[in-house]
Amino acid sequence: MAASLRCFLRSGKKAVSALGQREFHKSAPVAAQVTVRDALNQAMDEELERDERVFLMGEEVAQYDGAYKVSRGLWKKYGDKRIIDTPISEMGFAGIAVGAAMAGLRPICEFMTFNFSMQAIDQVINSAAKTCYMSAGLQAVPIVFRGPNGASAGVAAQHSQCFAAWYAHCPGLKVVSPWNSEDAKGLLKSAIRDDNPVVFLENELLYGVPFEMSEEAQSKDFTIPIGKAKVERAGTHVTLVSHSRYVGYCLDAAAVLTKEGIECEVINLRTIRPMDVESIEASLMKTNHLVTVEGGWPQFGVGAEICARIMEGNDRLTASGRRLSSRRGC
Amino acid sequence: MLTNISNVLRACAQRNGAAAVVSARTYADFTNEATFEIKKCDTFKLDEGPATQVVLTRDEGLQYYRTMQTMRRMELKADQLYKQKIIRGFCHLYDGQEACAVGIEAAINLSDHLITAYRAHGYTYTRGGTVKEIMAELTGRRGGIAKGKGGSMHMYCKHFYGGNGIVGAQVPLGAGVALACKYQGNNELCVCLYGDGAANQGQIFETYNMAALWKLPVIFICENNRYGMGTSVERAAASTDYFKRGEFIPGLRVDGMDVLCVREASKFAADHCRSGKGPILMELQTYRYHGHSMSDPGVSYRTREEIQEVRSKSDPISMLKDRMLSNNMASVEELKEIDVEVRKEIEDAAQFATTDPEPPLEDLCNHIFHNNPPLEVRGTNPWSKLKSVS
């Protein structure tokens, strides 16, 4: 089975773009094909318009239109006050963003990639995540840290690390990892409206991928709750749990396996912390077989946590899990 | 002329005899205000500095005296409670540096903002915390300013952002608060403090750059007490002119042991910020009598003679007291009365801090998130489920 899944890693993109075709109707608005980039852009645009305390800061977010063009058009629309280009000073500007959040604003702090967030990780954990607890609820930090996370295409080791496990380790943080455009838009809007620090892990390779977005998802009030996973495909034989880009791989693998008579249930975590273990347990009660699929390193990773929780959890579960991930170093 | 009046009064008092002096003396006999000559500040990239002739009113003087004395007694009480093991963990005491906190607060409004590092008890008090709340937080009780969950380094109140444990991290935070002030157009500013040890942190220089670039209304203040933990400034910094380290940010070096110097300089700095000129940097030359924290006797890296010398020649409370007495702005008895009241306040607070119960176990997992529906939190084992409310 592992071999089957690996074969279809390559065909991921082709399968996705084959889904859905544009239809033109004269009357009611319909589902549309929207790229993840545009979905994120829409989410930020709508939240900037809705609440004047919201602002975006990061490297190249304004005049460059975003290093990956995610914030395209926002500076032209909202100006210098709300879309702020920063110097290359992650620790400094992350701290400034956290301070602004403490004083009542609602910043979106962009890291060009989460690899650079390591420079600022003290501000994310010690200044943002822990403050509400240490102040016994007196001091809130309503901030979103967002940016591309994990593997890209040929950018080498320093630019390819997945930080889901690192951030999800820490209480006081919410960690979100969307897959498709609906996830991206709905979860980013929820993250911005959340009064707590949210680490929002995007994926650079997904930015240009179009997904179908329902009419409901295109509305200005569409949000997806943080902390709830989604069953993307129902199945009975094996549960595949994944997040971000690898949800697509799972669906592709499921499409292949169904021809062999194996029905996979694919769960899109959507949120890493707090993790929706109930959805995984409910699925395992049916299938009794678990495979976790992630882009990060296996040791101490997201899959490791899922397996540990399943092993410890509900006594009626007899499932044991296997993890699929990127290569472990040693 | 003021000297003449006070001489006449003293002469009258002496004629009537000592006993009559006490009963005959009313507060109307005191000088209402006096002008003092204070030390000139060193300036950097500034055409003019703060005034050197300052007026202190009697009311102001008494208030500063009371506040500084309260802070001093509170810190000494904390020392005592720590040695009795009633306070545990970290405890970084501020005695010796009172003039900084009091002088700064005298120059700004409560609607302004302030953030500092871990030597924060004094600032928690000047920003509006009560002695009771502060001491109960030190002893980790539910009556503490952070309900017993923050401790010495994590005290918060309105427009006071702590109390921060990570050296230097509070500086970008302070600039962020200033950014919010500018964004909201409320004419407020942020006072952002750090020590001589923190002054070498990289993130501070990143912050200087952005604050100057965006003209944020932030007053950076380096409380230079000559030692970063056990490392003297000469051993830590290639340049000990901390007020110049902002490079493109104007700076002032101020006598941090004189509450009037600190007040004048802070007023000057606040005007600078509020006029939209951007950030300004102040170095307050001050001294801590205690070691770095309660686990540091404070004498392995400096001499007892040095500590004694500062105590006898530059103590901020003594300096203010001498000024007020020699200018007939208060009497010895009056100040003693304040001392007695302060002592009582501290005793009551210590009593409360020692007897108030610790936070309930149910509170252990609360406040992980703000404004969040209740969630279940895993305890120390898989079967232990705790509840967390916001």
Q: Which residues of A touch B166 (CB under 8 A)?
A: 122, 126-127
- Are B49 and B170 in the same domain? yes
Q: Which residues of A touch B372 (CB under 8 A)?
A: 195-196
B255: in domain: yes
| Catalytic, out of A159, A212, A237, A281 | A159
B22: in domain: no
3-class secondary structure per residue, A265-326? EEEECCEEECCCHHHHHHHHHHHCEEEEECCCCCCCCHHHHHHHHHHHCCCCCCCEEEEECC
Residue B309 clears pLDDT 90, i.e. is over it: yes
CATH number for the domain spanning B125: value is: 3.40.50.970
Residue of B nearest to A120 (CA): B203
Q: What count of residues does chain A have?
A: 330
pLDDT confidence tier of residue B352, bands split at 50, 70 and 90: very high
- Are B308 and B344 in the same domain? yes
Model pLDDT, residue B179: 98
Residue A101 to residue A192: CA distance in whole angstroms: 11
pLDDT tens-digit readout, B72-99: 999 999 999 999 999 999 999 999 999 9
| Ranges of chain A whose pLDDT falls below 70 | 1-29, 328-330
Contacts of A314 (CB under 8 A, 6+ apart): A281, A285
B residues 195-214 near A, CB within 8 Å?
202-203, 206-207, 209-210, 213-214
Cis peptide before A274 (omega within 30 of 0): yes
Please count the CA atoms within 13 angstroms of the CA of B210 that sit on its side-chain side. Answer: 31
Q: Is B172 on the interface with A (CB under 8 A)?
A: yes
Residue A261 to residue A62: CA distance in whole angstroms: 51
Min Cα distance A45 → chain B (Å) is: 19
pLDDT tens-digit readout, A231-252: 999 999 999 999 999 999 999 9
- Are B343 and B368 in the same domain? no
On the question of a common fold for A32-213 and A230-324, the answer reads yes
What is the arithmetic mean of pLDDT over B222-250?
98
pTM of the model: 0.91
B23: in domain: no
Model pLDDT, residue B1: 56
Model pLDDT, residue A17: 40
Q: Is B386 on the interface with A (CB under 8 A)?
A: no
- Are B310 and B374 in the same domain? no
Residue A42 to residue B162: CA distance in whole angstroms: 36
What is the arithmetic mean of pLDDT over B207-236?
98
- Are B348 and B374 in the same domain? no
| Catalytic, out of A46, A47, A59, A90 | A90
What is the arithmetic mean of pLDDT over B309-318?
98
DSSP output for B137-206: HHTT-TTSTTTTSS-TT---BTTB-----STTTHHHHHHHHHHHHHHHT----EEEEEETTGGG-HHHHH
Among the ranges given (A102-111, A248-257, B1-10, B163-172), the one the predictor scored with the smallest mean pLDDT: B1-10
- Are B288 and B354 in the same domain? yes
B residues 336-375 near A, CB within 8 Å?
363, 366-372, 375
- Are B273 and B378 in the same domain? no
- Are B302 and B377 in the same domain? no
Residue B217 to residue B270: CA distance in whole angstroms: 8
Q: Is A119 on the interface with B (CB under 8 A)?
A: no
Q: Is B168 on the interface with A (CB under 8 A)?
A: no
Residue of A nearest to B208 (CA): A92
Q: Is A126 on the interface with B (CB under 8 A)?
A: yes
Establish whether A90 is a catalytic residue: yes
- Are B223 and B327 in the same domain? yes
* Number of other CB atoms surrounding residue B34 within 10 Å: 20
Q: Is B148 on the interface with A (CB under 8 A)?
A: yes
Model pLDDT, residue A9: 43
Point out which residues pair with B388 in neighbouring strands: B375
Q: What count of residues does chain B have?
A: 390
Model pLDDT, residue A30: 81
Among the ranges given (B217-226, B301-310, B372-381), the one the predictor scored with the smallest mean pLDDT: B372-381
Cβ–Cβ of A137/B209 closer than 8 Å? no
Q: Please list the alpha-helical segments (H only) found in chain B.
A: 2-16, 18-24, 58-83, 98-107, 121-126, 131-138, 170-184, 202-213, 233-236, 259-274, 304-314, 316-326, 332-355
B323: in domain: yes
Q: Is A1 on the interface with B (CB under 8 A)?
A: no
Min Cα distance A102 → chain B (Å) is: 7
A214: helix, strand or coil = coil
- A317: amino acid identity, one letter: L
Cβ proximity of A236 and A286 under 8 Å: yes
Please count the CA atoms within 13 angstroms of the CA of B237 that sit on its side-chain side. Answer: 21
- Are B145 and B183 in the same domain? yes
- Are B190 and B116 in the same domain? yes
Residue B15 clears pLDDT 90, i.e. is over it: no
- Are B311 and B381 in the same domain? no
Model pLDDT, residue B2: 53
Q: How far is the first Cα of chain A from the last one, in angstroms, to the nearest whole number?
A: 24
B363: helix, strand or coil = helix
Q: Is A51 on the interface with B (CB under 8 A)?
A: no
A163: helix, strand or coil = coil
The fold adopted by the segment(s) A32-213 is: Rossmann fold (3.40.50)
Cβ–Cβ of B367/A136 closer than 8 Å? yes
Contacts of A169 (CB under 8 A, 6+ apart): none
Model pLDDT, residue A27: 53
What is the arithmetic mean of pLDDT over B345-371?
96
Closest CA to A93 of A55, A131, A53, A130: A55
The full set of domain ranges for chain A reads 32-213, 230-324
Chains A and B form CB pairs within 8 A to the count of 150
The domain of B244 spans 37-359
Establish whether A25 is a catalytic residue: no
Q: Give the CATH number of domain A230-324.
A: 3.40.50.920
Residue of A nearest to B359 (CA): A136
- A190: amino acid identity, one letter: S
Model pLDDT, residue B84: 97
